[in-house]
Structure 1
């Protein structure tokens, strides 16, 4: 791979632009891609082969979705973990997390291969150090990292022994050793990649079959690939400046879908960034992995 910028090749999905597109995921059992407009309180359901869309209105802000089984999903919202019944969209509270904190909402998150979930919370107005990163496994909630401003880039190595995350405001992508059987840390976090002073901010990420991390860079309109040694090895252009999060999609997890945002852009900036908030399918080949199911 080259560290040169790779021009955009792909398509914009036939879906409305969101204020804050986030949390994309793909269910290989159904061929459906899912993602959120966090601020707009919407969940999008998109069948890739037919380019058909369903929009689900949510009662509150949601940001993370994971499969449980054929009929159920777990959804993380501003009040905690909910069971979502796929056929009806009905939500049932499983575990309340920060439900009594009106300042915060959920943000980035991902399921570990053991079936545990990591996710982060943050201030609705990005209040400094208002959030945290949590581990949830079979109903038990553990706060891993407190005083987080904008939690992002949560993903795991293929063997489940390493977790990655960032506080976007820090400019540092962190690496922490974890127990593959529980997804709980076994050592202190260390800096994996230092982006301080760089263009844009580290946002959502996924980790492929080879351990390469594909990270969206907010404000720079791109996806960066990082080797297991913490070296930036590729940069893929995305036609929206506020790129937020990638997901592996397709029958073999061989493509990247990328969400984006409009949040905070002025009228002039929106005019110059007409695809802001849209969701894209990139042609660049990847060796992706499907997300594991959440274990109740």
Structure 2
């Protein structure tokens, strides 16, 4: 896929040194951006207005903290879904997900336009075909797809008519039609092909204009794709492994990007000391306000 369009630079926002940063999620009610270090089982937060930061270990691999409509967070973790009180860090198990399979963990996740949670699982060693894609809708968990390897790029069009996802090793972003309740219809179809481009498609988010911002793992950039799948802008990072973007801030005009240190040699880390940090860019477009997760 050829490079053209606007170019932006991302700067370091928090030097979090995540082994595998993932799941940036804006919590408008608290003014905090949450993100996870999957491999170290740590939940991080940034108060965007003040710049204050914090976090705590949760005792399991962790990939998203979604704000609940009833208050608190729902954590997407290694053994399933758990409610979390962010003030105390105390967890309460909500439901198991593949708890009988020690080979898998959670990966990408995002709340859809109906306030339902889509999330994926994958093999801890990226075993081929070990992953699945799920939807939690009003407390009922449904497996949407299995046989995936590294499911990523879960995001949704502004009108709720489309979902996107990728199986990262394939290099192809898929688009899936949704019904009026947000359920997939038929089979997904190829939408954007990065199989011959540098990097691999990872996490993604959609802006208010219906364009998709996609992290390219290994290529040190996030690209903006038009609704037709055309590359129209690029955000360059000083680190090789961006994992997922999310819009945050009161105006949803800042794009925060998680990154990873996983798999980098000491020599590479010496050249990329900010790897694993949280980055931010001002791309000149606003994000969509994502609804809180509804469990009933």
**Number of residue pairs matched?**
293
Corresponding residue for residue 84 of structure 2: 84
Q: Using the alignment, how far apart are the partners of 1:233 and 1:173 within structure 2?
A: 16
- Alpha carbons 2:58, 2:89 under 8 Å: kept: no
Corresponding residue for residue 133 of structure 2: 133
Structure 1 position 23 matched with structure 2 position 23? yes
Corresponding residue for residue 291 of structure 1: 290
Show structure 1 runs of 5+ residues with no match: none
Correspondence 1:33-52 to 2 at 5 A: 33-52=33-52
Corresponding residue for residue 203 of structure 2: 204
Structure 1 position 96 matched with structure 2 position 111? no
- Alpha carbons 1:159, 1:180 under 8 Å: kept: no
- Alpha carbons 1:177, 1:186 under 8 Å: kept: yes
- Alpha carbons 1:216, 1:224 under 8 Å: kept: yes
Q: CA-atom RMSD, angstroms?
A: 1.4
Corresponding residue for residue 3 of structure 1: 4
Q: Using the alignment, how far apart are the partners of 1:77 and 1:30 within structure 2?
A: 22
Corresponding residue for residue 249 of structure 2: 250
1:123-144 Cα deviation digits (max 9, x unpaired): 1111111111111112222111
The 3 A distance-change label for structure 1 pair 189 and 14 is closer
- The structural deviation recorded for 1:187 is 2.0
User: The residue matched to 2:169 in structure 1 has which SS?
Assistant: helix
Q: Using the alignment, how far apart are the partners of 1:65 and 1:290 within structure 2?
A: 16
- The structural deviation recorded for 1:70 is 6.3
1:213-265 Cα deviation digits (max 9, x unpaired): 00011001111111101111111101211001000011111110001000001
User: The residue matched to 2:68 in structure 1 has which SS?
Assistant: strand
What is the TM-score with the length of structure 1 in the denominator? 0.96
Moved over 4 A (4+): none
Corresponding residue for residue 117 of structure 2: 117
